[in-house]
Chains A and B, each alone.
Chain A
Amino acid sequence: MSRFIPNAPPDDRPQQIQDELEYGKLTNKKYLYVSKHAAGEPLPEPIEDEPPYYIYIATYVNYLILIIIGHIRDAFGKVFKPQDYQDLIEQNGYAPWYDGFENFYVRRLKLRIDDCFARPIHGAPGRYIKLFERRALGKGEYEFTGQSMECLNLSSYNYLGFAQSSGVCTDSALDVIDKYGTSACSPRSYVGTTDLHLETEQVIADFVGKEAAIIVSQGYGTNASLFSSLADSKCLVISDELNHASIRFGVRLSGAVVKVFKHNDMDALEFLLRQQISQGQPKTHRPWKKIIIAVEGLYSMEGNMCNLPKLIELKEKYKCYLFVDEAHSIGALGPNGRGICDYFQVSPSKIDLLMGTFTKSFGATGGYIAGSKPIIEKLRLTYITNNYSESVPPPVLAQIISSLRIIEGKLNPGEGKERLERIAFNSRYLRLGLKRLGFIVYGADDSPVIPVLLFFPAKMPVVSRVLYSMKIAVVIVGYPATPLTTSRVRLCVSSALTKEDLDYVLEKFSYVGDLAFLKYSSGIAGGSKVPGQPPRWSIKDVLEVNVEDCKKPQLP
């Protein structure tokens, strides 16, 4: 037992077995699917199932109890254990680092389920993820046994399964260290530009179907620095309410005026556009210099997609610019993995700026901005990261180039196609299974992000811990990352998982669902066996027909 994280235990199993644990072999050709949206068809409205109202009331009561107990503990704690509250009180003339109110949620709610977060791992987060065993000592302290446990990985953003420690991409990254070193050593505009950087930019631009692209060493930083080069206080940015923190931060940095519309509500967007264009800037009523609509391709907490066809229609009608963050959709959606445009069969030229990250589908890190050549050239001069921030390190570039080439079929022909079709199949397979078992899941049929709703904050740790004990690693998210009442488990599907892995997951979920009373669905979002009745299939019935049913154009 040690307070320090142990070194990764050596693994002397044969290479082939280790590879299998990172990326499972396809067990049957039937387990493939091509994801795409039929061109011209309207986007099916995602139906969000609502649990019975008493679930909401109980959820609020759940919070109330947690908050009251938290306050009671605080009240007593401050008297009897003042040393625990040192960080919250003024000391020796210095204000505390943070005030108790700001910190209450963390201290009294999050800390109680701290063991479900930040579980340290080692090795590639592929099909299985290796978690260090640890025992909570309270107050966020842990003791480690030195052992680690392999869990099925439904938590990492490893959509196409490129988180691997062997194979073409790894070889390429290793090779690049010999030829380029480990670091880019300076910002792009100083001496941080090598031939490999320029090549990567061309490869990603071609992949997403734009003329040019700029790469950045971090996805968050890509957004955080971008908007300052696009907008100032006389411009308007219209942002989906569920946009990622990096977009919101970037827009705030730019000083532009921000208006938020209800998530994916195109009528609300149009209303806002009409109002804003006619009203102009506040007070002066001068026309806006420009209006930028910022949305995401695939929302990482909801699993639904933006309504791209409608957005393009609105953007053209109202002469606005459209920015789409494809962090989760690039690679993971579309018959060729080229993201949201590919999925909707829309020409990428209709979108002004396509942003995405390499962190997810490509097993690398960083982000890109792709656009027309004049736009990207100008950004090379005015984009903050280009002059003030580190450039992308070479091994990451190697991973990006090689994974993109595999997806395009230029490297290892056939491998990319299989990865794409596996994630499409796996996503639908797991989603349909969960629906039929009776869970409320959000999002689009083809989305590899599958949020399973728990509602009660207290059920988050239950689900996380029970699944952990069954060797399944999942991510739980609650307030403030989601609305107060909709705490959830977020599953990220990967090509690396086999159909048998998913069967195991479904079986265990079914067990946990019964155990923690999670099967709330009413059937309005589909999945029912008998129309009109809530779906409550047995696991056996689900598995019997799931392969065929999940390949139907619309999930039944």
Chain B
Amino acid sequence: MSTDTFSHLSQAADERPDKITVKDLSFHYGDFQALTDINVGISSKAVTAFIGPSGCGKSTFLRCFNRMNDLIPGTRVDGLVTLDDQDIYAPGVDPVDLRRRVGMIFQQPNPFPMSIYDNVAYGPRLHGVKRKAELDEIVERSLERANLWKEVKDILGRNGLSLSGGQQQRLCIARVLAVEPEVMLMDEPCSAIDPTSVQKIEDLMAELTDRITIIIVTHNMQQAARVSEYTAFFLQEVAGEPAVLVEFDRTTNIFTSPKDRRTEDYITGRFG
């Protein structure tokens, strides 16, 4: 990407409103505080990458956006998280509705033990879509968007678990896309799959940003540099102490001229 194209993008991106904002967030697992004092805005219809050494709370933070942490007993979130300026932890908010708007892809591909078709149709069916024709259409469109349609269009009745790991991950992406989420959270989606599928997933992410906001946690800094427009670097400096958001900026800035010494050390491979 030439500098020119980039500055053009940069301008456009800066005009985009934030889809998600986080103010003074801290997070506890029981007595252990995992995150402290996080402030960040996630741009709408862009890819934001979370990087940092393992165990620094990237997954934990990601799960704050769809309240998946609610499922882990003893956890506590303080601070403010908004989606389209609405506090998602406000008393009236149903996490079940929220998760429909904010989908999630996990590190381990986790198709349900049912057919490929039923995997993708699962979400729409939950939310009341019954007509076969409509489901067919959703399934096809979602698999297309997930770059998987060509490979599975003749085997839709086969068990999702019979696919390769990379195909399973794309099936999970299709499953999320089928409920038309506004945000897609991806927690190291490519760390357990083959390179061809990684390529396909990176491609589809680029295609999806015309309609949805993506946050991806990745261990792979080249991947962060390739796919994201913004990057947040997290670090837990002292074991047992909470992690902090060290630096958040445009991805090019993070990788070419980081402001914080610790970011520079990390991306140049000095620790982590």
Q: Is A bound to B? A: no
